[in-house]
Amino acid sequence: MFKYSLDNKRYHTLNFYYKNKFGGKVAKISLNGGFTCPNIDGTKGYGGCIYCSKTGSGEFGGDIHDDLITQFNKVKKVMDHKWPNSKYIAYFQARTNTYAPLEVLKTKYETVLKLPNVVGLTIATRCDAIEDCVLDYLDELNKRTNLTIELGLQTIHEKTAKIINRCHTLKEFDDMVKKLRERNIEVVVHIINGLPYETKEMMLDTVKHINNLDIQGVKIHMLNIIKDTKLDELYKRNSFELLNRDDYIDIVIKQLELLREEIVIHRITADPDPNSLVEPKWLLAKRSLINDIDKEMAKRNTYQGVKA
């Protein structure tokens, strides 16, 4: 069995990481802090990334009309049915969660950190939206809780980044990873497979690049097309082809082989809202997809890191 797994997985599972670190089950509570994004308000761009939904990838987070404590308790109530007596990670998920004045960030983060059994904080953000004063605060925060910063990269390829309206450079991303790691803050990187016009080799190149950075985790997503997004418009014009399920499985396995075994795999598939998903519909069978990745890895007798 792979040494970073408790359930016969062939990659470094988040479940293993949390149980090894905290000694029991840890559940992430997704929250909507009401943030915007520099790629929406005109600071870096307008309209956001072309795949971004109206909720800013926060479909399964809290209700923005509720305060953070109400959001937390509503999601916690659902989680407690599956995992009673869990510890919790407060997860600021929707949009860019460091993009606000420092005092606003402090108020939001500290509010949830005071809640019972909250053992950590995960903050999803962009590499170009963490000011130096915020870095200093995150440094202090990291000394008293389990802090993780999730940075969206999606691709290393400039041509693709322009198509998806990413509005930051690879150098900005690499520089922010370095700044965070200089403060010993854990970094998880988001990447997307199946972006318009990318080849399998391009997707593997993205993983080769991040494997050479000092990162602690990765989230691998399949591009999902959400209703009423610019990506939806592009797809309806038959401008690009989506990956099929078998190709996605093959690419994910090859990416896992290229990643150092100590890097935690937080996700190997997207988790779209079925009510707004246009394509690919096979993403809705999440458990089946994960099982088939496991089966194919066993069939190939391969593991995370075997080609790192």
Report pTM.
0.96
Tokens of 297: 């890895």
Average pLDDT for 201-218:
98
User: Which residue is it, tokens 């995960």?
Assistant: 122
For residues 151 and 177, is the Cβ–Cβ distance under 8 A? yes
* pLDDT tens string 231-271: 999 999 977 899 999 999 999 999 999 999 999 999 999 88
Residues 146 and 13: their CA atoms lie apart, in Å, by 17
Task: Work out whether strand 277-279 and strand 264-267 pair parallel, antiparallel, or are unpaired.
Answer: unpaired
User: Between these two residues, 293 and 59, which has the higher pLDDT value?
Assistant: 293
Gyration radius from the chain CA atoms: 19
User: Any idea where the domains of the chain sit in the sequence?
Assistant: 14-300
Residues 11 and 264: their CA atoms lie apart, in Å, by 8
Average pLDDT for 149-159:
98
* 131 pLDDT more than 70: yes
* pLDDT tens string 3-36: 998 888 999 999 999 999 999 999 999 999 999 9
CA atoms within 13 A on the CB side of 248: 25
Angle between helices 245-258 and 200-211 in degrees, nearest 10: 30
Helices (H), the chain: 14-22, 68-82, 102-113, 132-142, 158-163, 170-182, 200-211, 230-236, 245-258, 286-300
Say what the pLDDT of residue 55 is: 58
The CATH topology of domain 14-300 is TIM Barrel (3.20.20)
For residues 283 and 268, is the Cβ–Cβ distance under 8 A? no
